[in-house]
């Protein structure tokens, strides 16, 4: 299947690289369009079989899947440049805040997917959320399979996009903020920053794997660490006294706009 990725910026480039490394789409069937040459040259250098062009129309012509990876204010303009008459065409958009309704107006009512990755997609470790309209079960599974090669993918109702974006796309910053804070504590206690960063990052990665691989609950895993009268429970109770849970809940809710 021919896939067109419109935009080779951070997100478009990461999707192109992840797709080229995966097995769902043949590299020679991936087309990437971008106005500047440098990013196209970088992609072509890594994946010679991939096609690059400055023309959005050329990239999308005959494509079974078109992924719009441009800034939200460019979506309407870019959509006008593309011929959307192909039957059975799938349209995916990573543009924040552009609803399926608007995308449908711009593209003529195709199978539409809103795609919300996070920055870890560059390492193949994204939590990618998707909402769709007009897509068959086969098309939905295809999109899940494509993005599963770049991390974990999940289909959700569009009305949950804003809330889940705050938890995942914005939420990665909160996880990094925890790492930064733990590093600062380590520095105060005499641990070198670089060493502390590696220790804490691996601990956070391990905590995530406990949840993902064991399908358990955070409270269950916390209980395993909190020995009665031990040092961990003192720290956990201090976090609660200082408002850790409340602050995190407020931060995520603050990142959730009233309208998606």
| Cα–Cα nearest to 81, from 114, 50, 103, 59 | 59
Structure tokens at 206: 């391990």
DSSP 32: E
pLDDT in tens, 113-163: 999 999 899 899 999 999 999 999 999 999 999 999 999 999 999 999 999
Where, residue-wise, is CATH 1.10.3730.10 in the chain?
Answer: 171-254
Looking at the DSSP bridge assignments, the partners of residue 66 are: 4, 91
CB-CB contact of 157 with 131 (8 Å): yes
Structure tokens at 185: 């504590």
pLDDT in tens, 170-205: 999 999 999 999 999 999 999 999 999 999 999 999
Where, residue-wise, is CATH 3.40.50.720 in the chain?
Answer: 3-157
CATH assignment of 171-254, given 1.10.3730.10, 3.20.20.450, 2.40.110.20, 3.40.50.10420? 1.10.3730.10
User: What pTM does this model have?
Assistant: 0.90
CATH level 3 topology of 3-157: Rossmann fold (3.40.50)
């Amino acid at each position: 299947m021919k896939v067109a990725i419109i935009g080779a910026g951070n997100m478009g480039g990461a999707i192109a690289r992840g797709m080229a490394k995966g097995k769902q789409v043949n590299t020679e069937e991936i087309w990437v369009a971008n106005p500047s040459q440098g990013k196209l040259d970088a992609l072509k250098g890594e994946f010679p079989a991939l096609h690059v062009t400055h023309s959005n129309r050329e990239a999308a012509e005959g494509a079974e899947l078109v992924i719009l990876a441009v800034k939200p204010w460019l979506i309407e303009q870019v959509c006008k440049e593309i011929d959307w008459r192909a039957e059975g065409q799938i349209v995916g958009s990573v543009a924040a805040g552009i609803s399926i309704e608007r995308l449908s107006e711009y593209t003529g009512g195709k199978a539409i997917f809103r795609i919300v990755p996070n920055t870890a997609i560059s390492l193949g470790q994204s939590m990618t959320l998707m909402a769709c309209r007009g897509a068959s079960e086969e098309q939905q599974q295809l999109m899940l399979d494509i993005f599963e090669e770049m991390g974990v993918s999940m289909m959700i109702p569009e009305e949950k996009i804003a809330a889940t974006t705050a938890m995942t796309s914005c939420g990665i910053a909160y996880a990094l903020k925890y790492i930064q804070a733990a590093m600062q504590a380590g520095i105060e206690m005499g641990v070198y920053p670089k060493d502390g960063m590696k220790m804490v990052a691996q601990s956070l990665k391990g905590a995530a794997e406990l949840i993902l691989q064991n399908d358990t609950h955070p409270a269950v895993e916390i209980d395993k660490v909190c020995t009665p009268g031990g040092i961990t429970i003192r720290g956990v109770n201090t976090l609660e006294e200082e408002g850790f849970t409340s602050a995190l809940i407020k931060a995520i809710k603050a990142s959730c706009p009233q309208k998606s």
